[in-house]
Amino acid sequence: MTASVRRTATYEDVLAAPEHMIAQVLFGVLHTHPRPASPHAVASSRIGQDIGGPFDRGRGGPGGWVILDEPELHLAADIVVPDLAGWRRERVDESSFKGAFITVAPDWICEVLSPSTEAIDRSDKMDIYAREAVRHAWLVDPIDKTLEVYALEGSRWTRVRVARGNATVRAEPFEAIELMLNGFWEL
């Protein structure tokens, strides 16, 4: 009887994935999935627009952040692609964003949940973000129309709030502005 040995996935596996797939390596396992459906893309785009102006560009808000869509993060041996990520500007400089991927853990991530990725987003990816000391996480479900806001306390996530439907919220770490959730779901 021989035991099978599973090979640990590498960056070469990510590069070899078909172009129409998003490829990630989580705890040594390659995960691929197609680009998201429209409700997912709408929510992700709208969140980026709503926080990008005031926080990344400083328009109508405090600035002080770099906000990116779908950055490829190389965090230890893991290769993770959150839907959105943000870094406080005092922690990074232009050299942090010069290559094909980023090695500095963000201060905030947002995962927009899809039926095909929700289990991984809620488990492996949140575990990696906690290990890397990402301070804030949002899980957004465009089908159930929910925003879950998490804060890292020590090495564990604490759910700070859940907002639903058409609520208007101030969600950390972007509580300086009000967010109208209906804008995340509606065209």
What pTM, to 2 d.p., does this model score?
Answer: 0.93
- Is residue 141 over pLDDT 90? yes
Which tens digit of pLDDT belongs to each residue from 63-111? Answer: 999 999 999 999 999 999 999 999 999 999 999 999 999 999 999 999 9
Give the residue from 84, 93, 141 showing the smallest Cα distance to 117.
Answer: 141
Neighbours of 21 (CB within 10 A): 13
Strand 29-34 to 21-26 pairing: antiparallel
User: Taking 90 as the threshold, does the pLDDT of residue 3 lie above it?
Assistant: no
The pLDDT of residue 2 is above 60: no
- The domains found in the chain, sorted by start residue, are 36-185 (3.90.1570.10)
Query: How far from the centroid of its chain's Cα atoms is residue 43's Cα?
Result: 12
Contacts of 174 (CB under 8 A, 6+ apart): 51, 54, 55, 108
Q: Is the pLDDT of residue 186 over 90?
A: no
